[in-house]
Structure formats: C-alpha cells, structure tokens
Amino acid sequence: MDEIHVKAGRPSPVRSDHPGDPWSYRNLIWTFAQREMKARFKGTALGWVWSLVIPIATLVIYSLVFSFIMRMSPPDFGNGKAGIYFVWLFCGLTAWSFFANSVNAGMSGLLGVGALLKKIYFPAYTPVVGTTIATGIQSSIELGVLVALLATFGNVGWTYLLVPVWAAIFFVFCTSIATIVSMYNVYFRDLAHIIGVGLQMLFYLTPIIYPVTFIPEHARGLPLRRLVELSPFSQFIELFRDLIYGLTPGGWKQWLYVLVITGIVASLAVVVVRRRGQDLGEEL
C-alpha cells in the first residue's frame, strides 16, 4: 500500500466570504488571458494580423472622413513640426480602443466561462481580468506601431518614460470598469446592449477625433467644455496625448485626478466583486 500522504491540517470552510486577491490567482488569470489570446483569432487565416488590421482600418476610415471631408486640423507635434491628423488620431484611438475592447471582451469573457463557473469555484473576476490582460497585450502591439510611427516623424522625448506609468493606471481603471459591468451584465442581460450604445455616445463625447478646443465653452448656459474635460476618459486620453504626441509630462492636477478616479472605480469594483460576484454560479 502507498504511504498515506494526506495530512490533517486546519479545517477551513469550503467557501470563505472573501473572494481571494488577484495575486493568489495570478496563475489562473494568466491562463484565462492565454486562452483568450489563443481563442480570439483561432481558425482565421491571418490570425494575429487581424489585431492590427482592424485598428488600422478604423484609423483609415476616420482619417478619410475627418481630415479630408471635415478638414480637421490637429495640434502641432511636440517637436514643433506641423501636426498630422492621422497620427494625432491614432494616439487617441489606441487608448480608447483598449477601454472599449476590455469592457466588451470582459462581458463576453465572463459569460463564456459560465458553464465552468457552474461546475467549479473560482473567483468570477479572474476571467474578466484575464481578458483585459489579453486586450492589453493586443493594445500594446498597437502602441508599438504608434511609437514606431511617431519615431519616423522624430517625435520622441523623455515623456515616453511616463507612458508605462500612465498605462498601469489606465489598465486598473479599465479593468475595474470591465469587472463592474461584466458582473452586473450577468444579472441584467440588457446591460450589454445599453453599454454598446453608451460606448458609442461616450466616444463622441470624448475628445478623440476632435481636439477639446473644438467644444464651445458654453452651450445653453452649460459650461460644456469644462464638463467634457472633467470626464475621466477625456483626462486619460488628453494625458496620453500629452506624453506621446505633445511631449509634455502633463500637469500634476491631471495625474492626481486620474489617480483618484482610478482609486474610486477600483474600490467600487472590489465592492461589486464581493457583493455581486460570489453567487454567479447560480445566476449564469
């Protein structure tokens, strides 16, 4: 007979009320990220090339419409050269598409593991974080192309060093929102459709395709430009453009603002995970 290798340890509840921190589930989160990356373009002839074709196609469409038809003129490069709309737009679109993709992929990612969550326990946020990481990796490829493009125009500066810091904060921000939305989407399936419309509205309310100076200061007694500027999405995208296009480090108020907002959203995500994310096995 084999040796008895089961040791009597400390008896513990099968499920604690605490869902467990992401670090202790890093292995699982990474596995979900890999699964997402492998599954995303599996069976397509071009595979990962699609992850670049789609953003570039979007970029070309917007550039055609806004720079040729609407004749939008972008701010100058940080190195003083005359701005190019298509490059300027690329900066905003890269940041925005990471946000939009992580929310959408988070929702479908959580629903996709539904069958699994009914059979075995693991924290419901792990697949959401996993898909956001996968989205992040896809976005970093875009970012690489963007940096290469900016480098060909000679627009490189020390502020590039702040981009990873910005990216880390933005990642936490997007992951938190994706987590909140994905969990509630399990309870109210309409949310996915509402979010679809909401994202589109938000896209046009954020200075991505136009500079923030395009917005009238006041409209119908409302300080419209101020309101748009106060949106965390505007702040994140403006800050990113400052770093990578304008080559300025951004004001400390801007940094503080995005940090505080991210802190609030992340705390909210923790509350939602604890209150709503524990019994998804019954709801899915």
Partner 1 sequence: MKVTGTTEPLEPKDVAISVRDLGKMFQLARDKRTSLKERLVRGRSAKHDDFWALRGVSFDVERGTTFGLIGHNGSGKSTLLKILAGVYRQTEGSIVADGRVSALLELGAGFHGDLTGRENIYLNASILGLSRRQIDEKIDEIIDFSGIGDFIDVPVKVYSSGMYVRLGFSIAVTVDPEILIVDEIIAVGDEEFQRKCFDHLYKLRQRGTTIVLVTHSLSLAAELCDQAIWLDHGVVKGIGDVRDVVDAYLGDVNANELARKPLEPEPLEVTGVPKSPRRGSGEVRVDELRILAGRAESDELVLADAPCTVRIEYTAKADVLAEFGLAFIHESGVTVAGPNTTAGKFGLIQLDAGSGVIEYHLDSLPLHPGQYTISAAIVAHGHIYDYLDRAFDLLVRAESTVQEPGMVTFAGTWRHNGVVVKTALDHGADVNADS
DSSP three-state, residue 219: strand
DSSP string, 31-62: HHHHHHHHHHTTT-SSGGGHHHHHHHHHHHHH
CB of 44 to partner 1, least distance (A): 11
Contacts of 202 (CB under 8 A, 6+ apart): 233
Nearer to partner 1, 39 or 53 (CB): 39
Query: CB of residue 37 vs partner 1: minimum separation in angstroms?
Result: 11
Residue 121, token pair as written in the block: 């326990």
| Positions in the binding site for partner 1 (CB under 8 A) | 1-6, 8-15, 17, 27-28, 31-32, 34-35, 38-39, 42-43, 113, 115-122, 187-191, 194, 278-279, 281-282
Report in angstroms how near the CB of residue 7 gets to partner 1 at its nearest: 8
The nearer residue to partner 1, 68 or 187, going by C-beta atoms, is: 187
With b for 16 or more beta-carbon neighbours within 10 A and e for fewer, the 148-169 pattern comes to: eebeeeebebebeebeeebbeb
- 91, 146 contact by CB (below 8 A): yes
Residue closer to partner 1, measured from CB, 4 or 148: 4
Backbone angles phi, psi at 216, to 5 degrees: -60, 140
Residue 174 Cβ vs partner 1, minimum distance, rounded to whole Å: 22
- Give whichever of 122 and 257 is closer to partner 1, judged by the CB atom: 122
Which tokens is 40 given?
């995303």
Would you say 25 or 62 has its CB closer to partner 1?
25
- Shortest distance, position 182 Cβ to partner 1, whole Å: 15
